[in-house]
Amino acid sequence: MSAFSTQNENGVCLITFDLPGEPVNKLTAAVRVELEALLIRLKEDSAARAVVLISGKPDNFIAGADIEEFTALTSQDAAERLSFEGQETVSRVETSHKPIVAAIHGACLGGGLELALACHYRIATDHPKTQLGLPEVQLGLIPGAGGCQRLPRLIGARAALDMILTGRSERAAKALRLGLVDEVVPRSILRQVAVAAADRLARNGLPRRSGKGGMAGMILDRTSAGRRLVYRGARKQVLQKTGGHYPAPLAALEAVRVGLEQGVTAGLAEEHRAFGELAVGDVSRKLVQIFFATTALKKDDGVPPGSATPRQIRRLGIVGSGFMGAGIAGTAVLNVEVDTRLKDSDLTRVGKGLKAADRMLAERLKKRRLTRPQYQRLSALLSGSADFSGFNRADLVIEAVFEDLDTKRKVLAEVEERVRPDTIFATNTSTIPIRHIAEYARRPERVLGMHFFSPVERMPLLEVIPSPATSPDTIVTAVRFGRRMGKTVIVVADRPGFWVNRILSPYLNEAGHLLQEGVPIDVIDRTMTSFGFPVGPVALLDEIGLDVAEKAGNVMHAAFGERMKPAGALGRMLGATRLGRKNGRGFYQYRQGHKAGVDKSVYPLLGVRPAEADPQLVQRRLVYSMLNEAATACSENVVRSPRDADIGAIFGIGFPAFRGGPLRMIDDLGASRVVETLYHLQEQFGERFRPAAALLEMSRRSGRYYPA
Ligand code: NAI
């Protein structure tokens, strides 16, 4: 079956791309061959003076290259060739004597945008699904089909690097401002406008585009001295953001630089060379695995397929309009557009929560991600009260009140009294077992945990926690709702700390031990940011709140005994009413809400004197405490699969993606090496480092978490 069909409209050949049997268009090798043959035929077709390329998919122009093809690559040569062939196809589009117009509706990403860039004119719809971008660096790759050459030539070096090095995609309005597209139109007239534009180009010749960016653009983008500044700035920014762990952005920068300074031919050569090197490299392999894992999770409802029926959630009730309640409300309204009612114990608190949720919407308005009418419509979905009025219509109630078992049980009882029998009750507890909260529930099959992370709007993970009594329908409904909220959802077991806080706990405790030994705070944090975490464990404690962290630490200690015993540092901090960022006093100082360096008065408070420490050993202690607990929890089936475990660690804690997650890391090191290191640590620092039984077993039979 053919991916392209053609049709002649008044001398314009309309090519419709509709890859058979796929939800989105991908530029597979077969598609490229077909497109090239089509271009050759068109050259001879005297009835067509111009061409329009449009998609036959409902909300997708071209999603990009076929990532499966990347994973099949076994050598650098083969990867380089793939990139080179892509460049050739795209060049044939550009050198077509008949003008080609790209009519873009829906995602136009990666190779899709590279193809569109080679067209002679681009028209995009104003629909929110229309997104243009080069996300290759997010897979550890670079745009390898001419994107590093054509984008900077079209929109200038600065704007192009901004898109390529972050992998961020842009909506149509912004794309128009950047000069990335020539016109933006409503979807209903895309095709007509594109045909008319193609006809116009055939008659009047190609458009002349003026450079964007005014005087600064003139100097920075169009002189080589100016561009040198741009490259230097971009490089610095990349290194700051990636800590040097991700080679792709730097390689993309180089491909852009070579192209602009030495010409397109040299640029293309550098581009396919670097693509080949990166595609078979370890970082890209890891990032591609994560991409596949998250894609698979999007189709995973947490129950065997067909075993449960999801319910529609039209109305959401939230009890507790504090920090988390408000964050959940704002995120639900923004992403699911669901009618949301907030309840708290008095109207002042309700008002505060509503305002915080509304601020999230207003933020989007300010950034022009929402129009004013859209903002008003969404804002009207938020309401609140100090009683349960309206809850009788809720399909799902999420509870985010204080972390206290009795309070949570009481709220559950109050809610059950007022809602329909089929309403689902989800608790956002971070430590209390769901089955304890549900112990006196009238309908325990409708109760489960939905553990969001803070801040809700930015943290991509959601843990869904069924108790043994939760029904499959309830699970699938919660999973799907979380997904609609934009979260990657893992279903985890009802054990203390669930998955994420379970593996975080020994890690934060180890930071406490290090603090009590007088290891300087900045040494502790720097070893972990250089390992690849976005923040170090001490800074993280400040973010979580030392009161919250202590409480959670005690729960974990009670559940798992000696190996999870906190070091006592937090107690001393709390004794001096240091709560972390939230009251502006923690391990760090805060000025106007901004972190302002380590607070040295902490050391006497802890009764220590900061002393030199071996950063390597500090890092090993922190990392291995987490790896060891991950192995134990995994063997207790806290997670369903290594995939869920690693995704949870990466999205919930910020475990460095280029390392693939804690279990992937154990595989890479080899269980026996991990065991050996743990034995050393156990000798020096005690029983908490005793290797997990699961690791010993794995090392005995040379086992792995993932197939080799
Ligand atoms: P918060 O203190 O900001 O908000 C709690 C809200 O619940 C307050 O507005 C309070 O007035 C209200 N409330 C208390 N009892 C109530 C009752 N009986 N009826 C109605 N409202 C009541 O606390 P936060 O941080 O939002 O935490 C809420 C829950 O979310 C806790 O279970 C916590 O463990 C969990 N959680 C917190 C995270 C965080 O980082 N802060 C992360 C993940 C979960």
Q: Identify the band that residue 708 occupies on the pLDDT scale cut at 50, 70 and 90.
A: confident
Confidence at residue 211, expressed as pLDDT on a 0 to 100 scale:
67
Distance CA 163, CA 327 (A): 29
Mean pLDDT across 277-294: 96
Nearest residue by C-alpha to atom 9 in ligand 1? 322
CA 323–ligand 1 middle distance (angstroms): 7
Site to probe by mutation for ligand 1, drawn from 387, 402, 414, 432 as the one with most ligand atoms within 8 Å of Cβ, is: 402
The share of the chain scoring above pLDDT 70, in percent, equals 99
CA 151–ligand 1 middle distance (angstroms): 47
Distance CA 568, CA 389 (A): 45
Distance CA 527, CA 615 (A): 6
Cβ contacts of 368 within 8 Å, gap of 6 or more: 173, 174
Distance CA 92, CA 661 (A): 41
Distance CA 92, CA 41 (A): 13
Distance CA 271, CA 86 (A): 11
Strands of the sheet with 131-133, listed across from one edge: 60-62, 107-109, 131-133, 169-171
The DSSP-derived string for 346-405 is SHHHHHHHHHHHHHHHHHHHHTTSS-HHHHHHHHTTEEEESS-TTGGG-SEEEE---S-H
Q: Identify the band that residue 213 occupies on the pLDDT scale cut at 50, 70 and 90.
A: low
Ligand 1 interacting residues, C-beta cut-off 6 A? 319-325, 343-345, 349, 400-403, 407, 411, 428-430, 452-454
Cβ contacts of 35 within 8 Å, gap of 6 or more: 4, 89, 93
Distance CA 423, CA 426 (A): 10
* Token pair 């993606």: residue: 657
The pLDDT tens digits for 36-53 are 999 999 999 999 999 999
Confidence at residue 216, expressed as pLDDT on a 0 to 100 scale:
74
Nearest residue by C-alpha to atom 35 in ligand 1? 429
Ligand 1 atom with least separation from CA of 544? 40
Q: Identify the band that residue 240 occupies on the pLDDT scale cut at 50, 70 and 90.
A: very high
Confidence at residue 1, expressed as pLDDT on a 0 to 100 scale:
77
CA 430–ligand 1 middle distance (angstroms): 10
The SS3 assignment for 573 reads: helix
Q: Domain 4-280: which topology? A: 2-enoyl-CoA Hydratase; Chain A, domain 1 (3.90.226)
Tokens standing for 314?
């039209």
CA 353–ligand 1 middle distance (angstroms): 11
The pLDDT tens digits for 319-364 are 999 999 999 999 999 999 999 999 999 999 999 999 999 999 999 9
Tokens standing for 21?
């049997």
Mean pLDDT across 564-572: 94
Tokens standing for 373?
């009418």
The SS3 assignment for 24 reads: coil
Confidence at residue 292, expressed as pLDDT on a 0 to 100 scale:
96
Cβ atoms < 10 Å from Cβ of 316: 24
- Residue 267's nearest CA partner among 279, 253, 256 is 256
CA 461–ligand 1 middle distance (angstroms): 19
Distance CA 480, CA 488 (A): 10
User: Of the listed 270, 271, 399, 463, which one is catalytic?
Assistant: 463
Checking if the pLDDT of 218 tops 90, the result is: no
| 463 is annotated as an active-site residue | yes
DSSP secondary-structure letter at 585? B
The pLDDT tens digits for 630-642 are 999 999 999 999 9
Enumerate helices (H) and strands (E) in the chain, giving the number of each: 30, 22
- Residue 655's nearest CA partner among 565, 537, 570 is 537
Confidence at residue 458, expressed as pLDDT on a 0 to 100 scale:
94
Ligand 1 atom with least separation from CA of 410? 18
Checking if the pLDDT of 384 tops 90, the result is: yes
Confidence at residue 662, expressed as pLDDT on a 0 to 100 scale:
98
Nearest residue by C-alpha to atom 28 in ligand 1? 400
Nearest residue by C-alpha to atom 43 in ligand 1? 453
Checking if the pLDDT of 212 tops 80, the result is: no
Mean pLDDT of the chain: 96
Q: Is the peptide bond before 520 cis (omega within 30 degrees of 0)?
A: no
Checking if the pLDDT of 219 tops 70, the result is: yes
Tokens standing for 60?
């997708």
Residue 605's H or E segment, with its range, is: helix 602-606
Please say whether the beta carbons of 256 and 150 come within 8 A: no
Tokens standing for 210?
């003026």
Q: What residues does each domain of the chain span?
A: 4-280, 315-491, 500-700
The pLDDT tens digits for 587-612 are 999 998 899 999 999 999 999 999 99
* Token pair 């049980």: residue: 409
Nearest residue by C-alpha to atom 44 in ligand 1? 430
CA 85–ligand 1 middle distance (angstroms): 55
CATH number of this structure's domain 500-700: 1.10.1040.50
The DSSP-derived string for 215-241 is HHHHHHHHSHHHHHHHHHHHHHHHHHH
pTM of the model: 0.94
* Token pair 């009260």: residue: 385
Q: Domain 315-491: which topology? A: Rossmann fold (3.40.50)
Site to probe by mutation for ligand 1, drawn from 318, 319, 321, 324 as the one with most ligand atoms within 8 Å of Cβ, is: 324
Distance CA 283, CA 245 (A): 8
